[in-house]
Structure 1
Amino acid sequence: MTVRVGFFPHNNSLFVLRHTGILERRLPDVTWVDLRALPQGDRPDPRSGLPSVHSDQLFADGGYDVIGTGFTPPITALGAGRDVVYLGVSGPRTENGRLVVPADSPIRQVADLRGRRVGIAHGSWQTTLLLFALDQTGLTWADVEPVNTGADAAQLFLDGRIDAWTGSYPDLDRVEARTGVRTLVRTEGLFSHPSLWFTRRDFAETHRAELAAIVESLQESDRWITDNPRAAAQYFVDDAVARGEDADLDAWERALRNRPFGVNPVDDTFLEEQQRAADLLTANGLLPRAVNVRDAVLPWVNDLVAGTLPARA
């Protein structure tokens, strides 16, 4: 059968795997689905809900069977009643992003964000980071004006059209090269911000061999990225140039060098963090119903992933 794998640059592991040919050696009949080319549907106002495009396409004809994203989309899927299963999770990516304001901003602490415009890629890990930061200070989602910035985030920040921004590298490189910024909240100490991968329960249960091939290929490709970060960075630069966008090879190489690679089984620490995020999203009106993230765990999938990790000496 043809296995459909959804990819986009924000999940660095799957994006590189798309270009290396490693998966095709184990799974010749694979179709790569560029998530950026799929219909995006309606994107809800950040004050009233979460976009569900990732989970919608996971269950749609012409969509995909496996996807890699950031922290928030599987929670969104569970909130929409989708029967998803965690495939694996990366190590913490706390160096990848932070909540920043201009260096001369009067905003000195998270409490000062009340009534301010805060830029996020809504539905991504940035939504969770902002929500965790607000909750830590005693604020709620309703106390700020979240702005779904999309690809224009860095420029909106530089132009002063947002007051604060949950930025990530390499976009932060572009901003820091042009202006001073002050870090309001670091990701480290707030939440782990991992990459993760998930699938449908029916696909996991009926295509175990294909799932194993995907995990094994991700592990091999991630080891290659770790050993060859500049060559891996070139894939991202080439993609951006082909789309008429600017990209800096050095910035991408720095970003990849600072990110953890490798797929790990989901553990209690990760699940507790996902559950806390799910509960906060529900309490702030961003999920239509409460969810139990442990419903998305299949023990044998965890065993499968654990079996692909290097043996400890």
Structure 2
Amino acid sequence: MTVRVGYFPHNNSLFVLRHRGILERALPDVEWVDLRALPQPARADVKSALPSVHSDHLFAAGGFDFIGTGFTPPITALGNDRDIVYVGISGPRIENGRLVTKADNGIESVADLKGKRVGIAHGSWQTTLLLFALDAAGLGWADIEPVDTDVNDGGALLLDGSLDAWVGAYPGLTAVEAATTLHTLVDTESVFSHPSLWFTSREFAEHNRPALEAIITALQESDAWIVANPRAAAQYFVDDIRTRGGTADIDAWEAALRGRPFGIGPVTEEFLDEQQRAADLLAANGLLPRKIRVRDAVEPSIGDFVAKSAVAN
């Protein structure tokens, strides 16, 4: 059977695996689905419930069977009644980004964001980081003017004054740091662990276990290669950006990859507690259609295999 794996650059592990040819040794009929080529909805209404964009493709005919994302998409999938199963998580990506503002605009704390325009890639981990930060400051989603930007586009908007604050991520944050002095309102480490994560449909997990295990094993091998060869891995991202007509700095990409954890571990109780807290806050702020229980998406036998594969690599 053909196994379809969804990938895009934001999940660094799957993007590199797509170019390494490792998975094809175990699954000759693997088909890689570039998420950027799939139909995408219009920019999200940042005041209403989040759509489950990634999981819609996971469950659609002709979609894909396996996906890696950031922190928020599996929560929105569950909130939109998608029967997903967690596969594994990376270590904390606490150096990946932070909530920043320009140093000269008078915003000193998260509490000062009331009524301000804050840029995020809505529906990504950035939504969760901002929501956690607001909650800690006694604010809610309705207290700010959230602006949906691409992961990197918000930097230019912060610089020209269109945004008052921005959840920036590396390597895009590097250019903004070079252009102006930034003030960090909240870093990632003080808010949540922010791992990469991978999930699949329950049907695929239950009926295609050998293929799922092959994907996990290939990811472990590829991630070990990234750790040993960060500059060569960075070149895949640079080449992709340049092919699409953009510009990219290999040094910035190498630094970004060196600052991120690679390797897949089983989901932990601490991670599930963070997911549940995020789900509860998203629902309370009208960003999730219903309350959910994230532990309904845990299959212990998958975690056992992930743990064994991590030891083997």
TM-score in terms of structure 2 length: 0.98
Task: Determine the C-alpha separation between the residues in 2 that align with 1:207 and 1:307.
Answer: 19
Task: Find the counterpart in structure 2 of residue 57 from structure 1.
Answer: 57
Report if aligned partners of 1:51, 1:122 keep a CA contact under 8 Å in 2.
no
Question: In structure 2, the residue corresponding to 1:310 is in which secondary structure?
Answer: helix
Task: Find the counterpart in structure 1 of residue 30 from structure 2.
Answer: 30
Task: Find the counterpart in structure 2 of residue 95 from structure 1.
Answer: 95
Question: In structure 2, the residue corresponding to 1:308 is in which secondary structure?
Answer: helix
Deviation at 1:53, TM superposition (A): 1.1
Q: Match of 2:243, as an amino acid? A: A
Q: Does 1:45 align with 2:45?
A: yes
Task: Find the counterpart in structure 1 of residue 293 from structure 2.
Answer: 292
Task: Find the counterpart in structure 2 of residue 66 from structure 1.
Answer: 66
Q: How does 1:295-310 map to 2 (within 5 A)?
A: 295-310=296-311
Report if aligned partners of 1:129, 1:190 keep a CA contact under 8 Å in 2.
yes
Deviation at 1:43, TM superposition (A): 3.8
Question: In structure 1, the residue corresponding to 2:311 is in which secondary structure?
Answer: coil
Task: Determine the C-alpha separation between the residues in 1 that align with 2:134 and 2:81.
Answer: 27
User: After TM superposition, which residue ranges in structure 1, 4 or more long, deviate above 3 angstroms?
Assistant: none
Q: Match of 2:66, as an amino acid? A: V
Deviation at 1:162, TM superposition (A): 0.5
Task: Determine the C-alpha separation between the residues in 1 that align with 2:33 and 2:157.
Answer: 29
Task: Find the counterpart in structure 2 of residue 123 from structure 1.
Answer: 123
Report if aligned partners of 1:92, 1:192 keep a CA contact under 8 Å in 2.
yes
Report if aligned partners of 2:43, 2:148 keep a CA contact under 8 Å in 1.
no
Q: Match of 1:133, as an amino acid? A: A
Task: Determine the C-alpha separation between the residues in 1 that align with 2:201 and 2:263.
Answer: 21
Deviation at 1:172, TM superposition (A): 0.5
Q: Match of 1:276, as an amino acid? A: R
Task: Find the counterpart in structure 2 of residue 170 from structure 1.
Answer: 171
RMSD between aligned alpha carbons? 1.0
How many residues are aligned here?
Answer: 312
Task: Determine the C-alpha separation between the residues in 2 that align with 1:148 and 1:42.
Answer: 11
Q: Match of 2:294, as an amino acid? A: V
The gaps in structure 2 that reach 5 residues or longer are none
Task: Determine the C-alpha separation between the residues in 2 that align with 1:157 and 1:33.
Answer: 33
Task: Find the counterpart in structure 2 of residue 255 from structure 1.
Answer: 256
Task: Find the counterpart in structure 1 of residue 193 from structure 2.
Answer: 192
Deviation at 1:311, TM superposition (A): 5.8
Q: Match of 1:31, as an amino acid? A: E
Deviation at 1:41, TM superposition (A): 2.2
Deviations 1:110-153 (A, max 9, x none): 00000000000000000000000000010000000000012522
Task: Find the counterpart in structure 2 of residue 237 from structure 1.
Answer: 238
Task: Determine the C-alpha separation between the residues in 1 that align with 2:32 and 2:128.
Answer: 28
Task: Find the counterpart in structure 1 of residue 225 from structure 2.
Answer: 224
Report if aligned partners of 1:43, 1:51 keep a CA contact under 8 Å in 2.
no
Q: Does 1:207 align with 2:208?
A: yes
Task: Determine the C-alpha separation between the residues in 2 that align with 1:179 and 1:4.
Answer: 43
Deviations 1:91-124 (A, max 9, x none): 0000000000001120000000000000000000
Deviation at 1:44, TM superposition (A): 3.0
Report if aligned partners of 2:102, 2:181 keep a CA contact under 8 Å in 1.
yes
Task: Determine the C-alpha separation between the residues in 1 that align with 2:177 and 2:137.
Answer: 27
Task: Determine the C-alpha separation between the residues in 1 that align with 2:182 and 2:188.
Answer: 16
Question: In structure 1, the residue corresponding to 2:111 is in which secondary structure?
Answer: helix
More off after superposition, 43-52 vs 243-252: 43-52
Report if aligned partners of 2:51, 2:80 keep a CA contact under 8 Å in 1.
no
